[in-house]
Structure formats: C-alpha cells, structure tokens
Structure 1
C-alpha cells in the first residue's frame, strides 16, 4: 500500500519537496545576510544588504506559505486515498474472515491507523528538506573550520546514539498502545450496542463502568503516558545536546582551536538556526514510528491478501434456468481455539428452481451456519456446492452470491433501495409493497432512500423484505423472518408472501420454528447437531409439532 501511495502522489511529493527546499534555502540566506550585516564594514554595505534581506524575506513568506499549503493538500489527499483503499479492501474481504477479525478492529484501523499513516507520509517532503538543510549547513560549517566542525559532529553523533535507544523504547510503547486501542474501540462498541441493557440493569452498568471500561481506559492511559514519556525525553535530550554543542563550540573555539571571531560567530548563528530543523527531525520520528506501527497493524489484519471490490461493469449475468441448487457432503467447522469447535456436516441438500423449502431444528442445531455456507458467506472445508451444472469455487463465488437475496436474523437494514441492476428505486416502484406490509403511513422513499429506519424490529424486517423484493433475486433465504411479527403478518408471510414469490418463479428457503405452517412447504429439512435429514412430507402435520 505504501508503494502504491508514493507512486500515486509522486508529483505532489516532488513539488512539496521543491518548494520546501526553496523556503529552506531562503531561510539560510537570511541567516547568512544577518551574519554579513553583523560584520559589515560600512553603512553603505549595510544598506545594500538590507534591500536584499527584504526581498529574501518576502520570497520566504510567499514560498513558505505555498509549500505549507501543498503539504496540507498532500496530507488531506493521503487520508482520503488510504481510506478509499481500505474501504475497497474491506469490501473485498470474505465475510468469514471479516467476522473473525472483528468489527471493532476494522473501525480502529480506518480511524486511528489511517490518520497515523497519512501523518507519517505527509511529513516526508518537509523532513527531507530539513534533513537536507542540516547537511547543507554542516557542509558550510565544515568549510569554515573543519576542526571545529569535527567537535560539533562528535557531540551530535554521541547524542544521536543515545537518542536512538530512547526512540526504540518509545516504539515498543507505541505498539503496546495500539493494541490497547483495539480494546478501547471494543469497549465503546459495547457501550453503544448494549445501551438498552446497560440502562435497565444498574448492576451491569456499574460492572461495565468499574470492571470493564475503567480498567481498559487505565491501560490506554498508562501505555500512552509511557510512549509520551520517551518521546518527550528524546526531544528534550536533543535540545540539551544542541545547547551542549553550542557551549562547547564557544569554549573549544575560543580556547583550544582558537578560530577567528567571525568564524565562531558564524558557527553560533548557524547552530541557533539549526535548532529548528534538528528539532523538527527529532519530533518527526514520533510520527514516523506511529505510522510504522499503524501499517504493521493493518498488515496483521490480512486485508491486503484479498481481492478488491469488483466494479459494477464486472458483475456477471445471473443464470435464468438453473433447475437445481445442490450441496453434497458439505462440511464446515468454526476455526476457534477450542478442543471441539462447532461443526456441521456432512450435509446433502437440494432445492429445485421455484420450490419453497423449509429448514427446521432446535437452536444451535446448525441451521444458520448452514445457511451462511449455502449462500457463500462461509467457505465449506469439504463437499461440493452446485448451481445447475456449475460447481461453485473461489473463482465464481461472487457470481453465485449474486443469485441470492437474504434476510438473516441479525440483518442490517440499509437505507437505500436498489433494483437487480444496482440502480436506486423510487416510491412508485415499491408503493404496493409498502401498502401490503402496512408501512406506507410510516415510511416513504425519496431519491431511492427510506425516510425512516428507526422502527420496531418487526417493522424493520418488513422494510428489509421490501429491499429484498426490489432486488428481484432468483433465490430468497429468510432466517426466522416471522419471529418478530404479530400473528397477522406471521400468517401473511407464510400464506401469501411466500406463495406470491413462488408464483413469480422464485426459489425460497425458509428457516423457521413455526410448526403450524410446516405443511405449506414443498419440502422440509430437519437439522439436528449439525446434520440434516429430508423430512417425509406425506406424514401428518402433528409430526412436525
């Protein structure tokens, strides 16, 4: 990613460096002019230098402003580009891997890590200019008096050695701090997601505050204070070394090397000037190490091992006549650090085009896990999945997923309604569905967007059904859709909505506990402990009670 960004912003990096260098050159020129003014032989020489000084000052003001503006633009563009890259990468990550990573870690990455990387990259031009300024000034000082320059270089070299040791300690603290921030984001996610329970139960609220949130905040505070300690120590050490060098230069230059007064004055002026660039370089290491830790954190999430989100033009046409969706010997096991992780399979399953198939079973029997494998969210470790005559693998999995429209029990309700081509849907196109589901008096559609989604769970599921209708998929999968509906809409779901979808040639897979409606299914699968058995539909209805 870093190489891609540097290549993408090669031009802005170069221009920002060039103008920052010009600003630095003008600054050095001003110091040189001041030095010449101090040693001017006559008033006429001083007046001549004043005019040049004024022009250099105006040039530094204009070019300095433009270089800083370029750097600000570069920093903003870097943040935008990094977020865009991460957005594409996260969209391209398999759901199973994203679920394993954890939403709080992804959220921490797109906020904290993006800013850290952008900051470290945006200072590269000005870092390079300041470093070049230091080298340029050292070259000039070496030209004035090489023995005195060797004294200065030795002092700074020894100081830099200790500074490196301090910075390594600081980097370790930054790494620990970044790990603690993942926990902090998880804490705040819990605070928002569990707000109802925390408001109702005072004991749980007190426990969350005292035993979970506060210790986590204390850990973050401790790690941040440790990191700041080493960087503040490093900055102050750098300043102390500079003043130590300045004092020793005056002492050694006057009593040991015995350089001319003009040369010693030049060394003092340039050392005072170099405090700015050297101080900036030392402060920059903090941002550089933060960026390094952030990049390592992003790399650890493995977001860059997966393909980017496909463009709309790459979406392949769905099959119109596929006859049968089948799974043979399908097995899946959660990759958890347990002795006996939950698993399903081997499962044989099939549904014909235009059928309504029910899946029943007790809680924890593997129904929802199987559904996620069936629609391609989880990748089976064994077995075969086929749509028509096509075997599903990693090369055509997204094409396969495009045949489905799903409403899982933990669904997310999007505000925008899209048709099967990905275009926004207007009010007139879904008005009939809004009225059938008795949502027309509560919600409308403007510019393809639902005007309200903060409703009861049952009403939100009805809106999700409208989104599913609009997608016009070939296969629908509903996971306990009727569980949050009142008796009228539960009955409507089984007796009217599902038959309507079937009459349109749609294939419907329903996960349900509503045994009174099991006889309406074309076929039914019974799940138990991760395995599935096809039920005999000729048995009496009481069989499924």
Structure 2
C-alpha cells in the first residue's frame, strides 16, 4: 500500500521499531487472552505464577501500545511535513501560469487531503496491534481445534470477500465526493474574495448560493451518504455472517463428532476475542480507500506542477556599474506570452530606471 511505503521511506529504522512494538503489543494481547482462556478452562490453581504472568502481559501490552502510537505518530508527522514542504516547493518553482491554472485544486490538497492522510495514519497503531492480536488468536485457535478453526477461517474468508467487493464502490463514491469538494472550495473562495460584490447585489448573492454552493454541497452529500451506507451495509452483513456461523456451530454441535459442548465453549471464548480486533482492521479498509484518493490528488497536483521555470537566474556582474550615471536596473526586449495555441506576443518593452 502506498501510504505504508511513504511511512517506510520517511524513516526505515523508526518504521521497523513501530512494526516490532506493534507486533509485541499484539502478542501480549494474545497471551492475555490465552491466560483468560486458561482460567475459564482449569482455573488458576494449577499455575502458581498466573498472577505475575497475567499482570506482566497486561503491562507489556500497555507499554508497547504507547510506544507503537509514539513511533507511528512521529512517522506520520514527518511524512506530512515532507508532503507539505515538497508540494510547496513544487508550487513555488513551477511556472506562474501552471500554478494559476491549478489554483482551485492546490488549496484543497494542501488542507483537506493532507490533513485526511494525517488523520488516517493516526489510526494505524490500534489497527496494527489488532491485526497482530487477530493473527496470534488464529494460531491459538488452531492449537485448540484445527477443525473448528478451518470453519472459522471460512467465515472470515467470506467476510473478507464481501469487504473486497465493496471497496471499489467505496473508492468510487469517495473519488466523486472529493472531486465535488474542489468545486465547493472554489465556491468558498468566491464567498471570501467576492464578499463585497456579493453584499452589494442581493440577487447575485442569492443566485450564487442557489446555483453554485447549494447544488455542489448537495452533490457531495449524496456521494458521502452512499459511501457511508455502503460501508454500513457491508459491515452489518459481515457481522451477520459471523453470528450465523457461530449459530450453525451451536445448532449442529450434537451431530458433529469431533466437537463437544465444553470444547466449543472454550473455543468460542477465544473466537469472540478475535472478532473485535478483526473488526478494527476491517473498519480501517474504508479509510484506506479515502486515503488512496487523497494521495492520488496529491500526486496529480505534483505531476501538474512539474518544475518548469519560465526564467533563468544568473549571477549579475556589477563590476562595471557606475552608480552615478547608470540606471539601477533596466528592461530590454522584455515580453510575455500566454501558453496557448495561438501565441500572441506583446511588443518588447525597453525601459530603464
């Protein structure tokens, strides 16, 4: 994924540390779940070190969780800093005409898109920890009962497939809403910079709201509602499938030779602990698509603002300049032409000051 590549390129060492502590946090969480399962199955009398091991795992989970958040937060802020400075550099070094043509797209990217990428990256620590916890729990579930785990993995596979099918549509609506946001931002600029003219003309003011701001805002709302409803539908279908799968296990328990009530109760405890971190990871998929849309907008602006300086900077030789008789600066053969198909150059300007 592109945003992970961006994080890694920002600081490979810190990215590695963040990954390690996130995995350790997930493993600690899995160990706590194992200890809870052990208590439910045989009690704590068989293990004299149950309390220190349990408390140690909880403390380790808390410390590594905080470290994971710290490392990823530092990485995120460095990445956002680099995105902002690189884009600002491209804007200032690109030709004026190219910057002017993309002005209505530049400001939304500098504000909305980069801020959304930052907010999405801040969600990574619990997602990485949740993923590590889910993987650890799945391995433990295989240890408890590989037959039931294969059935559970089938349910998880169906849930993943539903999310996978829904993701392109989520991205489609997110892209459409983001394109409309460019128009809305341009409308807001018109409100701010054209406030005086709008206030002087009531009809123009009302027409601007009714024909520009209102329709664009309604269009963005339409796409955002579709995006949220689609995400809610896919999430609820996944939850229903998981619950129905557990129900099928319960209903058919008596007819399955390799499963009894006690074993299933112990297995179900671990399975329910696994669903929550998987839900966290699944919920992040929506933000991944919106983040990809924002990163694409940032890339598009970068491509559009390829550094094409329309002037050449040279060091001036002022050794022969006479302050008493020579002008401070002078123009000679200066002209400007718009970059259009029909190039009309103005007459050269000669002027000395």
Q: CA deviation at 1:21?
A: 1.5
* Paired residues of 2:90 and 2:302 also in contact (CA < 8 A): no
* Paired residues of 1:246 and 1:271 also in contact (CA < 8 A): no
CA distance in 1, matches of 2:122, 2:13: 13
Q: CA deviation at 1:262?
A: 4.8
- The 1:331–1:114 alpha-carbon spacing in structure 2 relative to 1, beyond 3 Å, is closer
* Paired residues of 2:98 and 2:305 also in contact (CA < 8 A): no
- Determine whether 1:13 maps to 2:15: yes
TM-score (norm 1): 0.57
TM-score (norm 2): 0.85
* Structure label with greater radius of gyration: 1
CA distance in 2, matches of 1:104, 1:349: 32
After superposition, give the CA deviation of every residue in 1:480-509 in whole Å (9 maximum; x if it has no partner): xxxxxxxxxxxxxxxxxxxxxxxxxxx35x
Specify the alignment match of 1:325 in structure 2: 332
Q: CA RMSD in A?
A: 3.0
CA distance in 2, matches of 1:22, 1:236: 31
- The 1:209–1:257 alpha-carbon spacing in structure 2 relative to 1, beyond 3 Å, is farther
Specify the alignment match of 2:91 in structure 1: 90
* Paired residues of 1:17 and 1:126 also in contact (CA < 8 A): no
* Paired residues of 1:116 and 1:291 also in contact (CA < 8 A): yes
- The 1:332–1:193 alpha-carbon spacing in structure 2 relative to 1, beyond 3 Å, is same
CA distance in 1, matches of 2:286, 2:48: 44
* Paired residues of 2:130 and 2:277 also in contact (CA < 8 A): yes
* Paired residues of 1:180 and 1:216 also in contact (CA < 8 A): yes
* Most deviating of 182-191 and 218-227: 218-227
Q: CA deviation at 1:203?
A: 1.0
* Paired residues of 1:16 and 1:67 also in contact (CA < 8 A): yes
Specify the alignment match of 1:292 in structure 2: 292
Specify the alignment match of 1:219 in structure 2: 219
Q: CA deviation at 1:13?
A: 1.9
CA distance in 1, matches of 2:7, 2:27: 28
Q: Which runs of 5+ in 2 are unaligned?
A: 321-328
After superposition, give the CA deviation of every residue in 1:186-232 in whole Å (9 maximum; x if it has no partner): 01000000000111111111111222211111111111111111122
Specify the alignment match of 2:323 in structure 1: none
After superposition, give the CA deviation of every residue in 1:259-312 in whole Å (9 maximum; x if it has no partner): 244542332122211122111111111111111111222222344762499xxx
User: Which protein has the bigger helix share?
Assistant: 2
Specify the alignment match of 2:78 in structure 1: 77
CA distance in 1, matches of 2:157, 2:201: 61
Specify the alignment match of 1:166 in structure 2: 166
Specify the alignment match of 1:30 in structure 2: 32
How many pairs align?
340
Equivalent residues in 2 for 1:66-215 (5 A)?
Answer: 66-101=67-102, 103-123=103-123, 126-215=126-215
After superposition, give the CA deviation of every residue in 1:159-190 in whole Å (9 maximum; x if it has no partner): 32222222221110001011010011001000
Specify the alignment match of 1:382 in structure 2: none
Specify the alignment match of 1:268 in structure 2: 268
Specify the alignment match of 1:248 in structure 2: 248
CA distance in 2, matches of 1:324, 1:76: 46
Q: CA deviation at 1:14?
A: 1.8
* Paired residues of 1:184 and 1:217 also in contact (CA < 8 A): yes
Specify the alignment match of 2:326 in structure 1: none
User: Which protein has the bigger strand share?
Assistant: 1
- The 1:176–1:5 alpha-carbon spacing in structure 2 relative to 1, beyond 3 Å, is same
- Determine whether 1:50 maps to 2:51: yes
